[in-house]
Amino acid sequence: MKNFAMTFGSMKSLLFSLIAIMFLTLTACDSNDDAIPADNLSADSGDEEVIDGYFEDTDDVVFEANDQVSTTNGRIAIGRDHSLIRCAEITHDTENKTITIDFGDGCEGPGGKIRSGKIIITYTDRKYVPGAIWVYTLENYTVNGIALEGTKTLTNVTGEESDYLSFNKVLEGGKATWPDGLFATREVNKTFTWIREPNPIDDEFHVEGEASGVTKNGMAYEMDIVSKLIYKRKCRRAGVHIAVQGLKSIVKGDSEVLIDFGDGECDNLVTITKDGESEVVDLTDKRRDKNS
Give the relative orientation of helices 43-69 and 12-31 as an angle to the nearest 10 degrees: 160
219: CB partners within 8 A, 6+ apart: 47, 252, 253
Task: Flag whether pLDDT at 190 surpasses 70.
Answer: yes
The predicted structure's pLDDT at residue 82? 52
Task: Flag whether pLDDT at 277 surpasses 80.
Answer: yes
Kindly state whether residue 99 falls inside one of the protein's structural domains. no
Task: Flag whether pLDDT at 20 surpasses 90.
Answer: no
Pairwise CA distance, residues 67 & 78, whole Å: 11
Kindly state whether residue 128 falls inside one of the protein's structural domains. no
CB 188 within 8 Å of CB 174: yes
Kindly state whether residue 202 falls inside one of the protein's structural domains. yes
Most confidently modeled range among 6-10, 11-15, 246-250: 246-250
Q: What is the mean pLDDT of the chain?
A: 78
pTM comes to 0.75
Domain residue limits at 31: 4-71+153-282
Alpha carbons within 13 A on the beta-carbon side of 160? 0
Kindly state whether residue 67 falls inside one of the protein's structural domains. yes
Per DSSP (E only), the strands in 109-203 are: 114-123, 133-143, 146-156, 165-177, 183-195
Kindly state whether residue 82 falls inside one of the protein's structural domains. no
The CA-CA-CA angle for residues 187, 252, 227, to 5°, reads 70
Count up the domains in the chain and report the number.
1
Task: Flag whether pLDDT at 242 surpasses 60.
Answer: yes
The predicted-structure confidence for 106-150, as pLDDT tens digits, reads as follows: 988 877 889 999 999 999 998 888 999 999 999 999 999 999 999
